[in-house]
Amino acid sequence: MLYKLSRRLRKYAKGWLIVVLFLVDAVFTFFLMPFINAFIARTSTAPVPDLMFFYTPQTVYTAIANYGEYLRRFNITVNLTVDLVYPLVYTLFFSLLITWLFKKGFSPNSEMQMLNVVPFVTLLFDLLENFGLVTMLSIYPATPVNLAWATAIFSAAKWIFAGMSILLMLIGIGAAAVNQTGKVPTDNAREIAFNRPVARVTFAGDNDQKRKG
């Protein structure tokens, strides 16, 4: 499954698509999400759990209690709409960008090519985190401790794999820069080299013999 996903990403890693995803991701990252978080900050002094690397059940349930009914409903709506689309956008952007950079920086047969699926692990934990937060917001004032701990672990895992995705992007930039002169042959380059005609070497004696004949 991961192998097929990796190959499909290599198929769709086009420059124009990466640029489009970058622009959409920028709208979420620099405008929409900061606007939502600023609104929450103005309405409540409680921290936003999904912006924290890790938290305890006491921290998350104290925040939920301080939100009040209106802000709890607002967070549920955000987590089921905007915060579902945003992870999909940044996952596709990072995956295709890493794929594009690794195609330029590493051999097509390198095992490094498989690492382009790492952002999808981030997506998985982000969605699990959202599910946990929506559940806790919906069932409050019930405060199941195990659910809070599980959601906190999902949040930490999300940030860890997000950091790994950024690291892979930096590695790809470095590898592509080092190999920009074409040190790592692509499939097309190999095919051209294989099919290139080989010059025929002849000797003077052979030419004289042909003339005499």
**Residue 44: per-residue pLDDT:** 86
- The amino acid present at 188, given as its one-letter code, is N
Number of H helices, E strands in the chain: 9, 0
Residues of the chain with pLDDT under 50: 184-195, 198-199, 201-204, 213
Percent of the chain past pLDDT 70, that is, above it, reads 85
d(CA 126, CA 34) in angstroms, rounded, equals 18
Whether the Cβ atoms of residue 205 and residue 134 lie closer than 8 Å to each other: no
**Residue 192: per-residue pLDDT:** 45
**Residue 41: per-residue pLDDT:** 87
Give the total number of structural domains in the chain. Answer: 1
d(CA 23, CA 179) in angstroms, rounded, equals 27
pTM above 0.85, yes or no: no
d(CA 91, CA 21) in angstroms, rounded, equals 10
**Residue 46: per-residue pLDDT:** 86
Closest-CA residue to 120 (of 151, 80, 161): 161
Domain containing residue 89: 2-212
